[in-house]
Amino acid sequence: MFSRNHRSRITVARGSALEMEFKRGRFRLSLFSDPPEDTELQRKLDHEIRMREGACKLLAACSQREQALEATKSLLVCNSRVLSYMGELQRRKEAQVLGKTVRRPSDSGPPAERSPCRGRVCISDLRIPLMWKDTEYFKNKGDLHRWAVFLLLQLGEDIQDTEMVLVDRTLADISFQNNVLFAEAGPDFELRLELYGACVEEEGALAGAPKRLATKLSSSLGRSSGRRVRASLESAGGSGSSPILLPTPTARGPRYHLLAHTTLTLAAVQDGFRTHDLTLASHEENPAWLPLYGSVCCRLVAQPVCMIQPTASGPLRVQQAGELKDWMRVHGVLKGTNLLCYRQPEDGDAGEEPLFTIVINKETRVRAGELDEAAGRPTTLTITNRCGEAKVTHTLQAESRGALQSWMEALWQLFFDMSQWRQCCDEIMKIESSAPRKPPQVLAKQGSLYHEMVLSESVAPGGPDEGPLLQDNTISAGIQALLSYSDR
């Protein structure tokens, strides 16, 4: 017989030796329970498993092509997240068993044991150029094919996706409008991009096949025989049953294939548009093959926490450069690569300008002052910056030796973060807010730029073109509805 601890999900045999040790107080149950990070990851895993079940039910109920493509995409993303979360849980369990504890950035210790601060990584303006043949793009020759593509992005155990985009030979590149933000990343991050695509069959191509076949048969056979064959084909098609000579295709969902992939690291971070190489994973014989140019263009930026959040603050007395006697009492705030000196602590929160700013960069030299009780400066440190050929030195005095140690620790940690995040600490890179997702673009039936330039007649509100748009729901809403229905 077993008793289960529902909070920590630990199964302990009732009356066993381990339970007796718990009762005697020799072991704490918290040593065997899951930490809060693992509990949150387990909650995410349970959520993705439920979403996967809902995606499977929604895929079986889809009646339109766009809905089936979105449901299959959601199913692929859920499977990837489930595998990622399970792998991360397994790694954490192994580290917990082996006794490997990860030090936090706030822990003090030698520089070799320091951990860099975390940060945010954002990728935006994603464009993948296409390489069509001249006869396909300009002369509109060859078979017209359409693809449904999207990007799967993974950083650590976090997996995100872009919107689905429909592509044909009228497009020169694939453009993804939304920004993808990863809130937890270290300077050693590896951002993997995977491009998936599915070939979309034209609905009109299969529908018009019986008539074309009937026309060919009526012209190749005799006049009387051709009329009989044509009449049988048209009667079979008009009665609602499957036409003869053409078996009914089996109903199954679309299948996405991996088309290309690449991995971006800290070296690719730049506050601007940049091109990166893609590794192609498909060939021309593949049904989902897409003529990719072999590169991806994007804007990849990163914001370390040390650049956007204060890492230390407190009262200070500052002796500015060139002044030997005058000390100024200020409230110092170490944020990014600047030590901001305000008159009052609330001035920084009110958005007022600081009295002066001391720059902290990779060339700055920080030294602790000597203990001099007689001079009345028991706790000081000096910050030296080079301005051209001259050196500018500021002397700082803290309230106590413990406060001085806290300021020195914050500065050492900042220097370590700057050495790890490198160019990301030169200036704060701007991360734009992500726009809401748009429904997949519906491509025109024609396959040339000429046809797109022809003005079509406007349809009144409530006309036939608004019907499918009003009937389409988002995939997440459909999944949630199916899940709530199944739980009743």
Token pair for 445: 């039936």
Give whichever of 60-69, 137-146, 309-318, 369-378 has the largest mean pLDDT: 309-318
Q: State the average pLDDT for the chain.
A: 76
- Residue type for 351, please? G
DSSP result, 157-220: TEEEE---EEE-TT-SEEEE-S-EEEEEE-TT--EEEEEEEEEEPPHHHHHTHHHHHHHHHHHH
Share of the chain above pLDDT 70, in %: 63
CA–CA separation, 95 and 92 (whole Å): 5
Token pair for 108: 């003090």
Predicted local distance difference test score (pLDDT) of residue 209:
44
Predicted local distance difference test score (pLDDT) of residue 368:
82
In three-state secondary structure terms, 68 is helix
- What is the average per-residue pLDDT within 465-472? 40
- What is the average per-residue pLDDT within 311-335? 86
Runs of H (alpha helix) within 309-400: 345-349
Predicted local distance difference test score (pLDDT) of residue 45:
93
User: Which pLDDT tens digit goes with each residue over 99-140?
Assistant: 754 444 444 444 457 899 999 999 999 999 998 876 655 555
CA–CA separation, 129 and 174 (whole Å): 6
User: Which pLDDT tens digit goes with each residue over 175-228?
Assistant: 998 899 999 999 999 999 999 999 886 543 434 444 445 555 555 555 565 566
CA–CA separation, 6 and 32 (whole Å): 13
pLDDT band at 437 (very low <50, low <70, confident <90, very high): low
Predicted local distance difference test score (pLDDT) of residue 452:
40
Predicted local distance difference test score (pLDDT) of residue 145:
77
Whole-structure pTM over 0.85, yes or no? no
206 vs 433, higher pLDDT: 433
Token pair for 204: 């009109």
CA–CA separation, 7 and 34 (whole Å): 9
The yes-or-no verdict on residue 420 having pLDDT over 80 is yes
CA–CA separation, 220 and 26 (whole Å): 93
Predicted local distance difference test score (pLDDT) of residue 113:
75
- Output helix, strand, coil percentages for the chain, rounded to the nearest 5: 35, 25, 40
The yes-or-no verdict on residue 251 having pLDDT over 80 is no
- Residue type for 428, please? I
- What is the average per-residue pLDDT within 318-328? 75
- What is the average per-residue pLDDT within 333-353? 92
Predicted local distance difference test score (pLDDT) of residue 86:
93
User: Which pLDDT tens digit goes with each residue over 369-408?
Assistant: 765 554 555 578 999 998 888 889 999 998 888 899 999 9
The yes-or-no verdict on residue 468 having pLDDT over 50 is no
In three-state secondary structure terms, 125 is strand
pLDDT band at 151 (very low <50, low <70, confident <90, very high): very high
202 vs 79, higher pLDDT: 79
Pair 480, 54: CB distance under 8 Å: yes
Share of the chain above pLDDT 90, in %: 44
Exposure on the CB side of residue 231, measured as CA atoms within 13 A: 6
